[in-house]
A and B are shown apart, each in its own frame.
Chain A
Amino acid sequence: GENVEQHPSTLSVQEGDSAVIKCTYSDSASNYFPWYKQELGKRPQLIIDIRSNVGEKKDQRIAVTLNKTAKHFSLHITETQPEDSAVYFCAASRGSNSGYALNFGKGTSLLVTP
């Protein structure tokens, strides 16, 4: 099955700096790559996603890049703020071949210090 690896497991940055989280996947049939933010005690919330026919997607301070050849994708957060502190999960899906189920990375705990 699909294996998604995520690095780093913890990341500490100063407010205003950028943060980058990287994920690799094993199944070349994967075609959808979402990123979720989970605050303490809360449910995961989708923050951005990218499909395999696109190399980059941006939404204000958040961007995701995808390299299909290398089978890796990354989350970039610019101008970080303390409220960006949370656990971030990447995921990959093979779409209809797997019931649109998501395979998640193990998460990155991001701490943004003022």
Chain B
Amino acid sequence: DADVTQTPRNRITKTGKRIMLECSQTKGHDRMYWYRQDPGLGLRLIYYSFDVKDINKGEISDGYSVSRQAQAKFSLSLESAIPNQTALYFCATSPGQATYGYTFGSGTRLTVV
């Protein structure tokens, strides 16, 4: 679904490097989320945002930071990547009304070596 675009699709980085994963959407949704997927663990919430002024920590925010640059853009940063941050990362959006209508991006596969 081109409505929620994640870049890059794949990335290999070295331990200790800073890396940014980007998410942009054309759905006009207010709410944006970053989830991490590990085999056998499902998807776990890292951060979420209601709008550019509202950022909230999720279940596993340690080691991550985010920036909501505009309604349409929500970036996830790993300040100093470590190998156990190797995972598949999904951005998702949902509308601001009391409905859910999640749309997931295609995912970014990150490998930290």
Contacts of B44 in A (CB 8 A): 104
Question: Which one of B94, B98, B106 lies within 8 Å of A43 (CB-CB)?
Answer: B106
- A99–B56 CB distance below 8 A: yes
Instruction: Give how many A residues have a beta carbon under 8 Å from the other chain's beta carbons.
Output: 24
| Known contacts A43-B1, A106-B40; A34/B45 CB under 8 A | no
Cβ contacts B92-108/A at 8 Å (1 or 0 each): 00100010101011110
Contacts of A34 in B (CB 8 A): 100, 102
**Complex: chain A residue closest to B54, CB-CB:** A99
| Known contacts A43-B1, A89-B43, A99-B56; A32/B100 CB under 8 A | yes
Question: Which one of A96, A99, A104 lies within 8 Å of B98 (CB-CB)?
Answer: A96
Kindly state whether residue B31 has any CB partner on chain A within 8 Å. yes
Contacts of B106 in A (CB 8 A): 42-43
Contacts of B41 in A (CB 8 A): 106
Taken together as a complex, chains A and B put the C-alpha atoms of A96 and B94 apart, in Å, by: 12
Q: For chain B, which range describes its interface: under 10, 10 to 19, 20 to 34, or 35 or more residues?
A: 20 to 34
Contacts of B33 in A (CB 8 A): 101
**Complex: chain B residue closest to A49, CB-CB:** B100
- A107–B42 CB distance below 8 A: yes
Question: Which one of A42, A44, A101 lies within 8 Å of B48 (CB-CB)?
Answer: A101
Most central of A34, A49, A96, A103 by chain B CB within 10 Å:
A103
Contacts of B56 in A (CB 8 A): 99
Taken together as a complex, chains A and B put the C-alpha atoms of A1 and B45 apart, in Å, by: 12
- B100–A93 CB distance below 8 A: yes
Which 7 A/B pairs are nearest by Cβ-Cβ distance?
Answer: A104-B42, A43-B104, A106-B42, A104-B43, A99-B48, A101-B45, A107-B42
